[in-house]
Amino acid sequence: MLPSWGTATSEAGGGVCAAASHRPPQSVSPTAPPGREHPRRRGGRGGASALVLATLLTFAASGAALAVNPEEQLPNPQQEARARAITRELRCVVCQSQTIDDSSAPVAQALRKLVRDRIVAGDSDRQVVAAVTARYGDFVLLKPRFDGSTSILWLGPFAVLGLGAAGAFVYVRRQGGVAEEPAPLTDAERAALAETLQA
């Protein structure tokens, strides 16, 4: 019989963001509780080399973990669906690019419980997220808030599109202006053409 996730990984001394167990310790934002660190598994490896070919791990965001446990689910399907939707937009603070919905780290589990407790207590979605960010900061939001420094994230793409389209339009108009319509044939040309066609 194989050990369970929790025991296996803690015996191995590795992290539980499965793929992250191959990565160096992840720092946690100062406002967050210390969370679980991921000690390096293999003694002989240096920092960056412990990053197992990350191109291979390109997609290793979640690493074969089963995140949400059946016991965590809320009995009310509507509330559970809301909880899933919210936890899919919150980041697991000790993992690399994993939502708390995907992650099996204890911190993620605690956050999932917090979200569900708030929902059961009757909070709106907005209040639930506010309760989480009050403890863990904006770092947990996978959809960053719009503010001074993140405005480039929200406006940039559309600004690039607008400026690019405007620039392209000006360029296209300018270079094409010369050849808009071919000038009509002069009388001499018309005569030469008629002569050629008749010949």
Partner 1 sequence: MIVELGHYALVLAFLIAIVQAGAGLWGGHTRNPHAISLAGPAAVTLAGLAALAFGALTWAHVSSDFSVQNVFQNSNSALPLIYRIAGVWGNHEGSMLLWIVTLSILGGLVAVLDRNLPPTLRARVLGVQAIIIGAFVGFALFTSNPFTRLSPTPLDGQDLNPLLQDPGLAFHPPFLYLGFVGFSVAFSFGVAALLEGRVDPAWARWVRPWTLGAWTSLTLGIGMGAAWAYYVLGWGGFWSWDPVENGSLMPWLAGTALLHSAAVIEKRDTLKAWTILMSITAFSTSVLSTFVVRSGLLTSVHAFANDPRRGLLLLAICLVMTGGALLLYALRAHTLKAGGAFQVVSRESSLVLNNVLLSAILFTVAIGTFWPIVAEVAFGQRISVGGPYYVRTAVPLAALLALFMSIGAQLPWKRGDWRAALKRLRVAAAVTLVAAAASFWLSGQSKALSAVGVAMGVWIVAGAVADIALRVQFGRVSPGALWRRAVHLPRSAGGGALAHAGLGVCVLGMVGTTLWASEKLTVMRPGERMQIAGYTLVFDSIDPRTADNFQADTASFTVLRGDRQITVLHPERRWFPIAQTLTTQAANRLTPMGDLYLVVGDPRGDDNQSHVVRAYVHPLVGLIWLGVLIMVGGGGVSLSDGRYRIGAPVRRLKPAPASLAAAE
- Cβ atoms of 16 and 105 closer than 8 Å: yes
Minimum CB–partner distance for residue 2 and partner 1 (Å): 5
What binding mask, one character per residue, do residues 52-81 give for partner 1 by CB under 8 A, x or -?
A: xxxxxxxxxxxxxxxxxxx--x--------
* Piece in contact with partner 1 (CB under 8 A), picked from 12-20, 110-118, 121-129, 183-191: 12-20
- Cβ atoms of 32 and 136 closer than 8 Å: yes
Alpha-carbon distances, residue 61 vs 15, 21, 57, 99, 104 (angstroms)? 13, 11, 8, 9, 12
CB atoms within 10 A of CB 43: 5
Residue 178 vs 199, nearer CB to partner 1: 178
What binding mask, one character per residue, do residues 20-39 give for partner 1 by CB under 8 A, x or -?
A: -xxxxxxx-x----------
Residues 135-194 that bind partner 1 (CB under 8 A): 137-144, 149-150, 152-154, 156-158, 160-161, 164-165, 168-169, 171-173, 175-176, 178-180
Residue 149 vs 188, nearer CB to partner 1: 149
What is d(CA 76, CA 57) in angstroms, rounded to the nearest whole number?
37
Q: Does 109 contact partner 1 by CB under 8 A?
A: no
Q: Which helix (H) or strand (E) holds 9?
A: helix 5-12
Minimum CB–partner distance for residue 139 and partner 1 (Å): 4
Backbone angles phi, psi at 109, to 5 degrees: -65, -40
What is d(CA 173, CA 14) in angstroms, rounded to the nearest whole number?
61
Residue 135 vs 194, nearer CB to partner 1: 135
